[in-house]
Each structure stands twice: as C-alpha cells, then as structure tokens.
A and B are shown apart, each in its own frame.
Chain A
Amino acid sequence: SAVISQKPSRDICQRGTSLTIQCQVDSQVTMMFWYRQQPGQSLTLIATANQGSEATYESGFVIDKFPISRPNLTFSTLTVSNMSPEDSSIYLCSARTSRGTGELFFGEGSRLTVL
C-alpha cells in the first residue's frame, strides 16, 4: 500500500493568482496522477506526472494552466495558474505501485476556492 500526503488541504485564493499543491508518497510508486473533482461530480484526470520529464495531459488540460513537476519517484507538484472561480474544485493526487493491476491510492485532496 501507499500513504499519500497532500498540502495544502484547503485554500482560498484570489482571482489571477497561482497555487502549488504538493504530493508526497511514503513509498516509491510507478505512476502518479492528478485529478480534479468538481462539486457533485466524478473524478476527471488532469495529467499523468512523469518522473524527470513533462507530464502527459488529458484533453482539455494544458501545461501552461496546470504545470506539473515530478522530480523523483515519491514527490509531485501541481500548480493551478492564473486562477479563476471556475478552478474552484478539489484536486487529488493519486498513485499506483505498478503499471499492472495495482490499486490506485489517493491523497486527502486539496480543496481550492477562488474568489
């Protein structure tokens, strides 16, 4: 199993600012992902965080808006840039320990409110 710590757990931000969310896993994991979950909705994958290289973004998400870093196997950051109220959401870091059928573990989530 893996324990994932995310911070901040919540924040209130001003329009036009940027915020970086940090994700730390307690063991080496193969794959790390960033999800967004808007109120009352399911999970939407933003990107796969690749170690030492650019993240792989899903349709509708771009690096300029959501830059992601993953300098090693246990740590990743997601930045939400130039925020607007539409970015208010829960952002979840997740990880799996293998490329196979490994369970996906989730961090506690970061609840962002943009005013």
Chain B
Amino acid sequence: GQNIDQPTEMTATEGAIVQINCTYQTSGFNGLFWYQQHAGEAPTFLSYNVLDGLEEKGRFSSFLSRSKGYSYLLLKELQMKDSASYLCAAYEDSNYQLIWGAGTKLIIKP
C-alpha cells in the first residue's frame, strides 16, 4: 500500500539544528518533495530529491535513501520564521500523483 509517515510536531531552539524525518512506502516511486507551509498560507516548494544522497540549499538540506524508503529535511541556524509545518510528499510516476504526509509542525523557541 501507500503510506508516508513523519512526526506530528517537533520543537527546537533558535540558532540550533533540527532534522525532520519522513518514511514512505509507495509503488512507482520517482522522488521525494519537501514543502514548507506557514499557518494560513499555501505550501511552498523547498526541495526535490530523486537520487540517493544529500542536497544542500543554504540553511536547508534534504536527504534521500531510496533503498530504505527514508528522507529527512535538515534545517540549520534556525530562525523564528522557520516555525511552520513541513510536508513530505512522494511522487509516483505511475499516475503523476503526489502522496502527501500529514506534515510536521515545527515550533521554534527563543
């Protein structure tokens, strides 16, 4: 079946590092998206991993292991504005659909 799991909520301190994990089980897996969603706003694209390994974009990095069905989003030098929900989504190329996780609410404390 299809399933995506990520923690419901995480708390971190301003200036610190946090890792948000995502595990998935899908058929026809093509890649893994991460989106950021602030309360009351639409999701915005952060990253898309197709190949195994780590991809870095400034303070944000995303990792994928296709053999383990596992991804994580790493946020460094946390800022208060990083408080948001982070959604992972697996892309199925069999039907061009995204399978969405429930999202991880990240709370940043001073």
Q: Which of B30, B43, B44, B45 has the most CB of A within 10 A?
A: B43
Residues in B neighbouring A92, C-beta threshold 8 A: 42-43
Knowing A42-B102, A43-B43, A107-B42 are in contact, say whether A101-B96 is a contact too (CB < 8 A).
Answer: no
Q: Are A106 and B96 in contact (CB under 8 A)?
A: no
Interface residues of A (CB under 8 A from B): 31, 41-45, 92, 96, 99-101, 103-109, 111
How far, in Å, is B104 (CB) from chain A's closest CB? 10
How far, in Å, is A25 (CB) from chain B's closest CB? 14
> Within 8 Å of chain A (Cβ to Cβ): is B33?
yes
Knowing A101-B30, A101-B91, A104-B33 are in contact, say whether A42-B42 is a contact too (CB < 8 A).
Answer: no
Q: Report how far A112 CA is from B101 CA in the complex, Å.
A: 23
Apart from A45-B97, A103-B45, A107-B42: 20 A-B pairs, beta carbons within 8 A: A31-B96, A42-B87, A42-B100, A42-B103, A43-B100, A96-B96, A99-B96, A101-B31, A101-B48, A101-B50, A101-B91, A103-B33, A104-B33, A104-B98, A106-B43, A106-B44, A108-B41, A108-B42, A109-B41, A111-B40
Q: Report how far A11 CA is from B45 CA in the complex, Å.
A: 26
Residues in B neighbouring A31, C-beta threshold 8 A: 96
Chain B: how many interface residues by the 8 Å CB criterion? 22
A-B contact count (CB 8 A): 40
Q: Are B101 and A42 in contact (CB under 8 A)?
A: yes
15 A–B contacts, CB within 8 A, in A order: A42-B101, A43-B43, A43-B87, A45-B97, A45-B98, A92-B42, A99-B96, A101-B48, A101-B50, A103-B33, A103-B45, A103-B48, A104-B33, A107-B42, A111-B40
Residues in A neighbouring B48, C-beta threshold 8 A: 101, 103
Residues in B neighbouring A105, C-beta threshold 8 A: 45
Q: Report how far A107 CA is from B43 CA in the complex, Å.
A: 9
Q: Report how far A37 CA is from B37 CA in the complex, Å.
A: 12
Residues in B neighbouring A104, C-beta threshold 8 A: 33, 45, 89, 98
Residues in A neighbouring B40, C-beta threshold 8 A: 111
